[in-house]
Amino acid sequence: MEQVRNMGSKTPLGTSRKIARSILLQPKHLIPVYPLFGMLTIALGLAGVTAVRQLTISPTVVVDKNKRASEILPEMVDPEGTHKKGKQFAERSPLYVISKDYIRHK
């Protein structure tokens, strides 16, 4: 009976648990891939922010169907207002703000 109990700790199931635990807790084979995950996360984040900004608050995008159907361009009707909106759009860009802070602290 003791022989069976002693063999229980040496079963392949026990060793496979140790191997699985060591692979999950210390993924040394994934260490070279972590910078890639970081770069992809940053790139997708910037792409998402840019897409949302361009589609929602860009002064050149007209979402209203009636305004799109008319052949009157907002630049022709109110050039100063369009210029003001464009300047605000450019100055509120996240990349513009980051670069402005970087140049200021340099």
Mean pLDDT by 10 residues, the chain (106 residues): 51 60 64 88 93 84 72 79 88 84 75
Tell me what pLDDT residue 7 has.
52
Amino acid at the residue 50: T
Q: Is there a contact between 83 and 90 (Cβ–Cβ < 8 Å)?
A: no
pLDDT at 12: 56
> Which pTM was predicted?
0.55
Q: Which two tokens stand for residue 76?
A: 């022709």
Whole-angstrom distance, CA of residue 68 vs CA of residue 28: 56
pLDDT at 98: 83
